Amino acid sequence: MRKITTIADVRRHFLSNKEPIYFISATNFNLLGIGDWVGSFRHINYIDCFDGQQRNVFVPKEKFPRDFESIEDINNYLLEHKEVIDFIGSRADGESAGVAAFLMFDEHTEEVCKQLGLRVAFPPAALRQRMDNKIETVRIGNKAGVPSVPNVLAKVGSYQELCEVSQELGNDLVVQTAFGDSGHTTFFIASEEDYYKHAEEIEAEPEVKIMKRINCRGSAIEACATRCGTVVGPLMTELVGFKTLTPYKGGWCGNEMFAGAFTQEIRDKAREYTFLFGEALREEGYRGYFELDFLIDMDNGEVYLGELNPRVTGASSLTNVAAFAHSDIPLFLFHLLEFSDLDFELDIEEINHRWSHPDSVDSWSQLVIKHTDESVDLLTQAPRTGVWKMAEDGSIGYDHYSYHPHAAENDQEGFFLRISGAGDFRYEGADLGILITRGRLMDDDFQLTERARAWIDGIRGQYAGQSLQDPVVEEVAVSHAVGGGNFKIL
């Protein structure tokens, strides 16, 4: 094929794509709707959020409740499952079975893919692991001219040591370990007492990141490092730690994307930093999709690098639905392009310029709704995936089936992706589902709006469970005890 030089070329190429491309993950949430852009695109998932209605989602029928340890674990389970292997094999062209993309994968995933004839469309797991290290992120940022919150990197063996190395940062500190999920490995330390709550975890690390605590807002931005330059998406706000959504303090629970999120100056700064960081990643050998968290200092408007997620993320579902994605192509298509054999030369600067324009960014929000009580029960009823409508009084009702967030046409409608369904256990931290809607769900003070609360209550109200004391439920619980089905969606 001749060299690709325009967005139209890219679009045409992927629409007529014949080589199977898979997104293998617990659910298809992160890449909702990408199948509309890419021929032969299939999701291979553990959870069927669509009750069999979605043609391009493959879920093995024969499954066992399992206590998965991570998303890598789910993906490896899927890839070693006979039904999945037969499915991939049935669509393969000789030795070549196509392309696989993941949210998370490890070296074992790579080995299995090699055997199945799948090409992994991501840099090697080992490199990703290195990039994912928060300490490493600070160093790359420093090199690229992207500042982190004032910090020191050090091995800490005691509270006294912590105070000594962080003298210049003051008494109010935030300590982070190199790896960890949102809300799990960030410790706020203002006193000796705070320190002892987390001393064991901190002292086990060879090195931690110690930051000055600032009055900040969380933000997220996604980008893709290509050989022609880094394509940068819009800056989104992050929903963090809302008790009505997540039981994890400081845990991620959604995003908002809208043109006026933060001032023009902050947005420009974040985009510039993201571009610089993407170029630095390429120098490290990393390429493709990535996400950066920026901490915006509310006191002085400074933009600080928070962390790097070298992968597709929970925010990708928004990045890939906004107006700019539809007027050009979704960011993920740049990723597929980068990992294809195609020769391309695109004017990334022009694209970035277009995407930075406020008109390119229509407003979208998503809420990740988890079970927040400590209770455990067996779900007997769950809201279906599709478009739900909110009435004047704030009550919600099912409107119609769709797999695409765009089907929610206005502020009164929301696209709901059901994750926990009837027959699943509802336990603290379990993902119930994700709501994507047009417009904002937080106010300017970063508090949930009334509409957001009504949606959360409405969705929760659609779930019903049966207590574990019920003998029938108990029996199911015992048979589930073998596994447990306890994992999170990121």
Partner 1 sequence: MEKTLIFRTVREESPGAKWQSLFDYHWPAYEQWYLAEGERERPAYLACYNALRQHMPELLDTYRTLCDLAGGGDLAARLLSLYRPPPYITGCSQAVLARSDTTVLARNYDYPPELCEGTILYTNWNGRGVIAMSDCLWGVLDGINDRGLSVSLAFGGRKVVGEGFGAPIILRYILEFCDTVPEAAAVLARVPTHMAYNITVADAAGRYVTAMIAPDQRASIRRVPVATNHQKKIEWYAHALASETLIRERQLSILVDDEATTEERLVSAFFSPPLFRHDYRRGLGTVYTAVYRPRDGHAQYHWPGMWLKLSFDHFPEQQLTVRYGARGLNAG
Q: Which residues bind partner 1 (CB under 8 A)?
A: 60-62, 64, 66-67, 76-77, 79-83, 85-86, 112, 115, 482-483
Nearer to partner 1, 2 or 61 (CB): 61
Segments of 134-274 assigned E as strands = 151-154, 173-176, 186-189, 208-212, 216-226, 229-240, 252-257
The 10 Å Cβ neighbour count of residue 36 is 14
The packing angle between helices 125-132 and 264-284, to 10°, is 140
The 10 Å Cβ neighbour count of residue 471 is 6
Minimum separation from the CB atom of position 62 to partner 1 (A):
5
Nearer to partner 1, 157 or 483 (CB): 483
Minimum separation from the CB atom of position 78 to partner 1 (A):
10
**Pairing state of beta strands 377-381 and 425-426?**
antiparallel
Half-sphere exposure of 382 (CA within 13 A, CB side): 27
Alpha carbons 392 and 279: distance in angstroms, whole number: 49
**What phi and psi values does residue 421 have, to the nearest 5 degrees?**
-125, 180
Alpha carbons 402 and 399: distance in angstroms, whole number: 10
Q: What residues does 386 pair with on adjacent strands? A: 416
Nearer to partner 1, 16 or 479 (CB): 479
Minimum separation from the CB atom of position 100 to partner 1 (A):
14
Minimum separation from the CB atom of position 433 to partner 1 (A):
26
Minimum separation from the CB atom of position 81 to partner 1 (A):
5
Minimum separation from the CB atom of position 465 to partner 1 (A):
25
Minimum separation from the CB atom of position 377 to partner 1 (A):
23
Nearer to partner 1, 18 or 61 (CB): 61
Nearer to partner 1, 388 or 487 (CB): 487
Minimum separation from the CB atom of position 80 to partner 1 (A):
3
Q: Which stretch of DSSP H or E encloses residue 429?
A: none
Nearer to partner 1, 90 or 167 (CB): 90
Closest among 187, 275, 267 to 219, alpha carbons compared: 267
Minimum separation from the CB atom of position 400 to partner 1 (A):
34
Q: What residues does 415 pair with on adjacent strands? A: 387, 436
Nearer to partner 1, 76 or 219 (CB): 76
**162-166-167-169 Cα dihedral, nearest 10 degrees:** -140
Residue with tokens 């469309």: 121
Closest among 349, 341, 331 to 288, alpha carbons compared: 331
Closest among 399, 397, 464, 408 to 435, alpha carbons compared: 408
**Pairing state of beta strands 41-45 and 57-58?**
parallel
Nearer to partner 1, 77 or 188 (CB): 77
Nearer to partner 1, 90 or 469 (CB): 90
105: left (phi over 0), alpha (psi -120 to 50) or beta: beta
Alpha carbons 187 and 202: distance in angstroms, whole number: 9
Nearer to partner 1, 112 or 270 (CB): 112
Minimum separation from the CB atom of position 82 to partner 1 (A):
4
The 10 Å Cβ neighbour count of residue 109 is 24
